Amino acid sequence: MLASLKKKETYSRYFASLKFSLYCITHPLDGFWDLTHEKRGSLAAANTILFLTLLVRILKLPYTSFMFMMVYWEGINIFLYLASVVFPLALWGVGNWGLTTLFDGKGTLKQVYMATCYGLTPYPLLQLPMIFLSNVITAEEAEFYVVLGSFSMLWVGVLIVAAMMEIHEYKMGKTVLFTIATVFAMLVMVFILLLFFSMISQGVSYFISLYREIIFRL
């Protein structure tokens, strides 16, 4: 009985934290403050929002009208397609947390991740109905579809900036500055990763050629 009540309470907290994402996207300043400082968010809800975002991106491929999205399936790698969201998200979290920690930022890596995922909420909310909309509107109404898509991405961007401002307790100017700095840090991390893997690849190639040379001499 006690275990059942505890499980019910856990589910209740999860759905409350997931529902709270709707408050965050309509009241971003109060919402993202409460998300971390009042503990109204949860890691499980953040993961759910990220999962829904990835799911909608997958659903867009086969079900969006060809008038808005031409898909060449032979060139699609679904893992790389999903990584185009997950990898930048990981770089953003690490880069933002690393920089703000050095300049009195109050947010933890977990809070940066949670707030960013909550900021993604408009994407599945708007992009999912847009999939169905793309199949019923005409070419003359295509501009509305494009504007709606752009609005969803702009909304996400504004929410993420607002989230960073609240969890780090920065002013707007400082938040914008560190947002730009985070993007630059992401590019630096990508360059370092590419350099690292290039060196690993060259090292492996060297030892393979050395092994072949030894075998040939023997």
Q: How many C-beta neighbours within 10 Å does residue 122 have? A: 20
Is residue 48 within 8 Å of residue 18, measured between CB atoms? Answer: yes
Determine the pLDDT at residue 22: 92
Query: CA–CA separation, 68 vs 131, rounded Å?
Result: 10
Place of tokens 């030894």: 214
Sole residue written with tokens 């630059």:
184
The pLDDT value given to residue 105: 83
**Cα–Cα distance for residue pair 95/99, rounded to 1 Å:** 6
Which residues lie below 8 Å from residue 125, measured CB to CB, with a gap of 6+? 25, 152
Question: Can you list the positions of beta strands (E) in the chain?
Answer: none
Closest CA to 169 of 36, 11, 14: 36
Which residues are CB-neighbours of 39 under 8 A, at least 6 positions away? none
Cβ neighbours of residue 206 closer than 8 Å, sequence gap 6 or more: none
CA nearest to 118, candidates 10, 12, 36: 36
pTM comes to 0.86
Given a cut of 50, the residues of the chain with pLDDT beneath it are none
Q: What is the pLDDT of residue 210?
A: 74
Look at residue 2 in the predicted model and tell me its pLDDT: 56
Could you give the CA distance from residue 117 to residue 126 in angstroms, rounded to a whole number?
15
Res 117: pLDDT: 94
CA max distance for the chain = 74
Distance CA 6, CA 156 (A): 35
For 99-127, write each residue's pLDDT tens digit: 998 888 888 899 999 999 999 999 999 99
Q: Which of 13, 8, 17 is nearest to 48 (CA)?
A: 17
Tokens of 151: 């609005």
Which stretches within 64-137 are classed as H helix? Answer: 78-102, 109-119, 122-133
Instruction: Give the separation between CA 128 and CA 57, rounded to whole angstroms.
Output: 9
